[in-house]
Amino acid sequence: MIDPPFSIKADGRLSDVVDAFKANFADGLENGASVYAIQDGDVILDLKGGWANREETVPIGDDHLFSIYSSGKAAAAIVIAYLADQDKLGYDQLVASIWPEFAAEGKEDLTVGQVMSHQHGLSGITSPDWSAESWYDWDKTCGELAAQKPIFEPGSSSGYSPVTYGFLAGEIARRADEYGRHLGDILRQDICGPHSLDVWLGLPESEHYRCTHMHKPRRMAHFGEITPATRAAFLEKWSSPGATGVSQWRSAQMAGSNCQATAEAMARLMQVFIDGTIEGSVFLAEDMTEKLRALRISGQDQVLPFELNIAAGVMLNYPNFFYGPNPNTIGHSGWGGSCVFADPDAGLTFCYAMTRQDNSLMGDPRPLRIIEALYESL
């Protein structure tokens, strides 16, 4: 076996963090990974290790994109906040006022803020006529969600929605945008493109050559008690998009479950959650930044086996503390292990991305090891 290549750039205080990153490889837990952290505007970590391709001949480089799955929900949340900041919508606005068909089956009183915090009761599609291929038809999917009866009473609790979130947030964004653009297009054209941030919700085929090869999990995740909401979200044969090939999946604008990004770009984008800026430029007004990260629902989630505190599309750090020791930290995790967070108390943003997926729903032990070492070193 060839030793994995490393590219290490780290603040002098952070040798233990570098050791933790390398230990994940030594323990056989990684094929390729990248970690990027910024504190008070200074890059303190830029770690890359392992291989970008299946054959293990191409080292992870600056230009390689990782599939970070639901960690990209943070990017989608920023798009909704941007539209709210532009007075195109409001968190307290009824979804049905933007998307009238959504009022069916008792969903007429749901607000944008409730949908963004997974209170809609639509954690998955319940129709047995649905298929894994159906997800690639945007209008069909949104029509199905608008007509569906919620799995639990809307507004009563959260029920994490791994795939449907992207269509709900995405259709709200599309209808609110004056040009009718998809959420991923708004992200590129108005936010990430102008700031040269390599984050994509819907990756053009011309960029696919930069994607790293993902190694699928070898074990099922531990879901705890299987509720109807859990089954719809994860365990039906049609719960996830599939059977069309990785190229179509990368290109689809699912707005929260198939994000492609570099760790650097996500760490830079997460600054929005601290002070509303991107690359030093004001992006969101102070009051909108507060609305973006404000607590909207807390308690035992109906899908994930965790008590969660959820803001408008991202998770508050307590009570699970997956993103370091500070309770005010905002973050999100992606299927298989990736995670992003913004810690306003430490002035810190962070992204961990990898190619080997584990079965963790949240709190993967690999980034936890790195994050623990990071905070001990700061």
CB contact at 8 A, 214 and 54? no
pLDDT category at 8 given cuts 50, 70, 90 is very high
The per-residue pLDDT for range 326-343, each reduced to its tens digit, is: 999 999 999 999 999 999
User: 287 — alpha (psi -120 to 50), left (phi > 0) or beta?
Assistant: alpha
Whether the bond into 217 is cis, omega within 30 of 0: no
The per-residue pLDDT for range 90-126, each reduced to its tens digit, is: 999 999 999 999 999 999 999 999 999 999 999 999 9
For residue 350, give the 3-state DSSP assignment.
strand
Query: Comparing C-alpha atoms, which of 165, 163, 166, 160 is closest to residue 306?
Result: 160
The per-residue pLDDT for range 33-87, each reduced to its tens digit, is: 999 999 999 999 999 999 999 999 999 999 999 999 999 999 999 999 999 999 9
pLDDT of res. 32: 98
The per-residue pLDDT for range 251-281, each reduced to its tens digit, is: 999 988 999 999 999 999 999 999 999 999 9
The CA angle 101-227-353, to the nearest 5 degrees, is 85
**What is the enclosing helix (H) or strand (E) of 18?**
helix 15-26
One DSSP character per residue, 160-186 reads --TTHHHHHHHHHHHHHSTT---HHHH
Query: Comparing C-alpha atoms, which of 253, 374, 295 is closest to residue 116?
Result: 295
**What is the enclosing helix (H) or strand (E) of 358?**
none
* Out of 150-154, 224-228, 294-298, least confident range: 224-228
Q: Which amino acid, 347?
A: G
pLDDT of 15 over the 70 cut: yes
Could you state, in order of their start, the residue ranges of all structural domains in the chain? Answer: 6-377
One DSSP character per residue, 232-291 reads IIIISTTSS--SS-HHHHHHS--SSSSEEE-HHHHHHHTTHHHHSEETTEE-S-HHHHHH
Q: Which amino acid, 223?
A: F
Q: Which amino acid, 39?
A: Q
CB contact at 8 A, 263 and 353? yes
For residue 16, give the 3-state DSSP assignment.
helix
The distance between the two most distant Cα atoms of the chain, rounded to a whole number of Å, is 59
Q: Give every strand in the sheet of 199-200, ordered side by side.
A: 66-69, 259-261, 199-200
Both structure tokens of 43: 């890059």
Q: What average pLDDT does this structure show over 279-299?
A: 97
Q: What average pLDDT does this structure show over 183-201?
A: 98
Half-sphere exposure for 210 (CA within 13 Å, toward CB):
17
Q: What average pLDDT does this structure show over 310-326?
A: 98
**Class of 6-377 per CATH?**
alpha beta
pLDDT category at 1 given cuts 50, 70, 90 is low
For residue 30, give the 3-state DSSP assignment.
coil
pLDDT of res. 71: 98
Query: Comparing C-alpha atoms, which of 75, 71, 346 is closest to residue 195?
Result: 75
d(CA 248, CA 28): 31
CB contact at 8 A, 152 and 229? yes
d(CA 302, CA 179): 36
pLDDT of 202 over the 90 cut: yes
pLDDT category at 221 given cuts 50, 70, 90 is confident
pLDDT of 243 over the 90 cut: no
Q: Which residues pair with 67 in a beta bridge?
A: 260
pLDDT of res. 288: 98
Query: Comparing C-alpha atoms, which of 351, 331, 205, 345 is closest to residue 265?
Result: 351
pLDDT of res. 2: 75
Average pLDDT, the chain: 96
